Amino acid sequence: MLVDEVEIVVRSGSGGNGMVHFHREKYVPRGGPDGGDGGRGADVVLQVRAGLSTLYPLRHTPRYAAADGRGGGPNNMSGKAASHLVIDVPPGTVVYDAATGQELGDLTTAGERLIVCRAGRGGRGNQHFATSRNQAPRTAEKGEPGEEKRLRLELKLIADIGIIGLPNAGKSTLLAALTNARPKIASYPFTTLEPNLGVARVDADTAVVLADIPGLIEGAAQGAGLGHDFLRHIQRTRVLIHLLDGQSADQVADHSQINSELALFDPQLAKKPQVVALNKIDDPDVKERLPGIESALRAHGIEFMLVSALARTNLTALLTKAVRELATAPQPAPAEAALPVYRPAQDPRDFRINQEAEHRWRLSGASLERSAAMTYWEHEGSVRRFQKLMQSIGVDDALRRSGIQEGDTVAIGDYELDWQD
């Protein structure tokens, strides 16, 4: 896996537990309930940091757990809420739920934030359960459990101009010559295994971001080599510099192959403006073959420029032409002002009943399991409150229809109860 795609597991914090407590003070023999509420847990937040250009640091920490909220205290003191866990990601990060494949967000702007796991709320203390009929309630809530998700993060570089071409065409050398970037350069294919970014200064008022996209091979659109990992980065760019290798045996075939791979991966890629440049014209063998190469390219209607990234020949003209294309290229769609709210597909009050054995039943459902986890089973008042919830959503009637008998075991999450009708 390239460093521009990683999977991490994130878990938000659980809420702090509410407290069962009664006010104690001299000459006040029957103080009322004053158990405080638990504090909210910490959300897990992805935040775009402008200086980052890779997801590589996240591979060293595949699991992230946010802090839990503090428990409530006496005298109506609420527990402290936990500080959110913020994970920095580079601009251009697309976030997916790894389990479902659903896209959760596309983070492109510095400072943009996305909450990927909501924290659990704090449990309520017994001060909230006092009524005129029950002035000393031994009822409280535990904190709501946090969420856990497995996320797949994909980096699509954000650049104005992308440099594409076959392996060893000289893309990294061109990027280094046009910008202050220092990519790895060597004379063998696939020197570049992750895209590089650089900023080129056009004039005193204009600068553009260029991306050196690693070389493509035949079958890249179907995932051959590292095709999908490379092609996704081109989707962000608005203009392409298509660099042809002057040392290649057939530049026309190379040009056709790259454009075919772009069209197969995403038809919109093949429609992006291109500036075609024939590189390495300073090489003696290329100089000798140059008339034949030029004739073949023109015969196929390919407009091109002659450049040498190593000797820095015609690079200013190449950049100027690419910038002119950029000025007329379509602008990217503006980012949405607010992220959509993702809601569960089913009603959280829904539940399922499964008979695991002759006298053993299991209840499952989002609301039911969350409520069980928030119940103080050692306090009779909390147990009665949970029983009322079971009745209100129809669990009792459904169990009777399923044939439950006195004394059968009912499992809910990690908890087991005995059925009494």
Is 230 in the same domain as 185?
A: yes
Q: Could you tell me if residue 24 is inside a domain?
A: yes
Q: Which residues pair with 150 in a beta bridge?
A: 9
Is 5 in the same domain as 64?
A: yes
Per DSSP, the residues of 249-300 read S-HHHHHHHHHHHHHHH-TTGGGS-EEEEEE-TTSHHHHHHHHHHHHHHHHT
What DSSP state is assigned to residue 167? T
Q: Could you tell me if residue 345 is inside a domain?
A: no
What is the pLDDT at residue 10?
A: 96
Q: Could you tell me if residue 334 is inside a domain?
A: no
Give the mean model confidence (pLDDT) for residues 2-30.
Answer: 85
Could you tell me the strand order of the sheet in which 196-203 lies?
196-203, 206-212, 161-164, 239-245, 274-279, 305-306
Is 60 in the same domain as 143?
A: yes
Is 265 in the same domain as 131?
A: no
Higher pLDDT, 36 or 106: 36
The share of the chain scoring above pLDDT 70, in percent, equals 84
Is 3 in the same domain as 103?
A: yes
**Phi and psi of 256, rounded to 5°?**
-65, -40
pTM, two decimals, is: 0.60
Is 150 in the same domain as 184?
A: no
Q: Could you tell me if residue 347 is inside a domain?
A: no
Q: What is the pLDDT of residues 216-263, one digit of tens each?
A: 543 333 343 343 455 666 777 889 999 999 999 899 998 888 888 777
What is the pLDDT at residue 191?
A: 40
Domain C-terminal end among 112, 135, 155: 155
Beta strands at 206-212 and 161-164: parallel, antiparallel or unpaired: parallel
Domain CATH for 232: 3.40.50.300
Is 90 in the same domain as 217?
A: no
pLDDT at 67 over 80: yes
Which residue range is the domain that position 23 belongs to?
A: 1-155
Is 168 in the same domain as 281?
A: yes
What is the pLDDT at residue 188?
A: 39
Give the mean model confidence (pLDDT) for residues 253-280.
Answer: 85
Is 254 in the same domain as 378?
A: no
- Measuring CA to CA, which residue among 30, 42, 22 is closest to residue 125? 22
Higher pLDDT, 66 or 207: 66
Cα–Cα–Cα angle for 105, 331, 178, nearest 5°? 100
Is 232 in the same domain as 365?
A: no
Domain C-terminal end among 119, 136, 155: 155
Domain CATH for 6: 2.70.210.12
What is the number of structural domains in the chain? 3
Domain C-terminal end among 101, 125, 155: 155
Is 2 in the same domain as 138?
A: yes
Q: Could you tell me if residue 339 is inside a domain?
A: no
Q: Could you tell me if residue 284 is inside a domain?
A: yes
Is 92 in the same domain as 132?
A: yes
Q: Could you tell me if residue 216 is inside a domain?
A: yes
Q: Could you tell me if residue 150 is inside a domain?
A: yes
